[in-house]
Structure 1
Amino acid sequence: MTTTSPSRRTTTGALLALAIGSFGIGMTEFVVMGLLPEISRELLPTVWAASQEDAIAQAGWLITLYALGVVIGAPTIAGSVARFPRHRVMVLLALALTVFNALTLILPTFELVAASRLLAGLPHGAYFGIGALVAAEVMGPGNRAKGVAFVLTGLTVANVVGVPLGTFLGQNLGWRWAFLLVVVIFALATAAIALTVPHRAGEPARTLRAELGVFRVGQVWFALGIGAVGFGGFFAVYTYVATLVTEAAGAPAWSVPLVLIILGVGMTVGNLVGGHLADRDLTRALFGLMGGLILSQLLLALTAGWIVSLVFFVFAVGFTSSAVSPTIQTRLMDVAGDNQSIAAALNHSALNMGNALGAALGGAVIAAGLGYTAPVWVGLVLALGGLGIAAVSFSLERRRASRPELARV
């Protein structure tokens, strides 16, 4: 008797290869945040000499341009390559990440480095989206969310290990050393994907025009809204953890990296747990975890003045928010119909929009003089918004199931 299902060894190898790439993405996306002074000092020497604050603020565009690349690249690349074999697509995406980050490593001026950051963001969403489909495929029915979560684990582990290591290298040897490590990781991921991800025939009918039909599916918009608004609540907290620690709790600056590591551990564990829960009952997992995120943020806002409670509830926020991620990704795959590639990638456009929304609103309330715990309250409101969108989405789905004559939503 023969079977077409991948062996356990093939499955493990493919998931590990994809996770290595997501580890690299986590590094390249977040390590810049800790190296803005070093980058601005080298690439903007005139501005740095006049005002360090202005130089760092200008260097912050490197973060914005990367996020913009993700938003642009996720739907366009994923939709354009949907007809090709996913094995080949993943190799090319990993290779693109290697090359574009190599440009960041070697280019000499701020303007060229900024352009390279935009380019490096383009394959991000497609890598995660199509990688999620590959992971779900090799894991098989009943284990899809676990496969998605395993791939995303590389991103969360990067926050625990990769970003601190890259920041250390960048601060002590020069910021380009951090990107040298990123390039090595992506090169390793490219080779590993080429060797381990199973070959599968493409679908010639899945053109970009056909994939864009996903935007006519109302439930896809709801799922994206849960990610953009609800996950924005996490980024409102994550972006301002440093000021929470030093200003709200009055802890020393050296404790900030430790708190960030604890947050990263919470994200890593939560991601794996979320995958298991989503495979058992996606609806219950999504609502339960969103409720847990809201409760964690409420308790963090109320107790942020004490460092012990702050650390505990920062871990809880990381755990619950990251556990939500595979449920949203799997939900998108469920409601997208035949438009799997572009829908799975769009999740990462939505999450980056949430990143921008949470960071902007969190900064606005601090600037308004509402205090350093105000971003946590903003995060709570955004998480409530995400929960509300989820409630509307599932309510409409139930109505449609009971009344087939209703229009598709």
Structure 2
Amino acid sequence: MPAVALNPYDLFDVRSLLSDEERAVQDAVARFTDERVLPIIGECFDKGVFPRELIPEMAEMGLLGSSLPTEYGCAGMNAVSYGLICQELERGDSGIRSFASVQSSLCMYPIYAYGSEEQRRRWLPDMAAGKVIGCFGLTEPHGGSDPSNMKTHAKRDGSDWLINGAKMWITNGNLADIAIVWAMTEEGIQGFLVEKDFPGFKAQEVHRKMSLRASVTSGLFFDNVRVPEANRLPNVRGLKGPLGCLTQARFGITWGPIGAAIACLHEATEYSKTRVLFNRPIAATQSVQLKLADMARRITQAQLLSLQLGRLKDAGTMQPTQVSLAKWNNVRMALDIAREARDILGGAGITTEYCPIRHALNLESVITYEGTETVHQLVVGRELTGINAF
């Protein structure tokens, strides 16, 4: 039989392991990224602007809260489909995927998992439609890797709560209509739905960023913010709540950087075929072929890792340590590939006319947020030894 040409960005034909529905989701989001994200994202990154005009289109495609039930206006997709959404969005830019991740996994998920039925009915349909945007307030200015050392607190005041404190590095902060805020109470850490017009609540955008420039990042400040009891998430207490949200979001993050890495490999490969040095394209040199082959090897490993993680999640058997291993491996993979691709592009690689430098800068944030690389390494180490080294 004649050999069938392999897809250079899917050397193990992982796509053949997807269902028809999963492939359809991937194809639809890939078209959206190609047609709507890629033509504008370089300029958005340069100007430090999030393309909020894309939100209604993302909502129309069912990308917001995609894994939640249809009874709340959501698409009811499986976990692998959500992962593929993240992969294709991040092939465009980490900031676009971050928006969808926060809206879906860090805001809509806790309302669904920890909220009352009244809260679900009130918020989820409008969030799925992109009419209400959320942000997730956990990280604080003094440090993000130790959420148990939370300074933001909420105290009962009659039938309401008064929240004081601050949160930092909050994606979507100045876009958000509501903030899912985690605060220390006398009964332990609890979650609250803080609406943007509540007196004493302020979001302040972070500027002068060199990463996630096409994304909104903010600080949140609470000065005796009065929150009604009806806005408290009633069905969780303690760190289980925010950590459960982070596990959902980290799952998507294991997929997203695969898209960034594929974008970088594609651009480096095409550039290497046209860049002529010493009378031949650099793609004809062993050094460049070795680099490109190593990129493809590492992307293939990440694809298989995330697909198996998705199958475990859909089966209900996924463990947080498995998410940590995949987040650690896949983000490190993508960051290394972005840097290597930038090197292959030479001087041209330092401009945002090409994607590797943009992805490399973005991935510096992705490897830090929702658990630094070191934190995830220590989670795996604890699993292996039974000893907590934090």
Same fold at TM > 0.5: no
TM-score bucket (shorter structure): 0.3 to 0.5
Structure with the largest fraction of helix: 1
Structure with the largest fraction of strand: 2
TM-score (structure 1 length as normaliser): 0.32
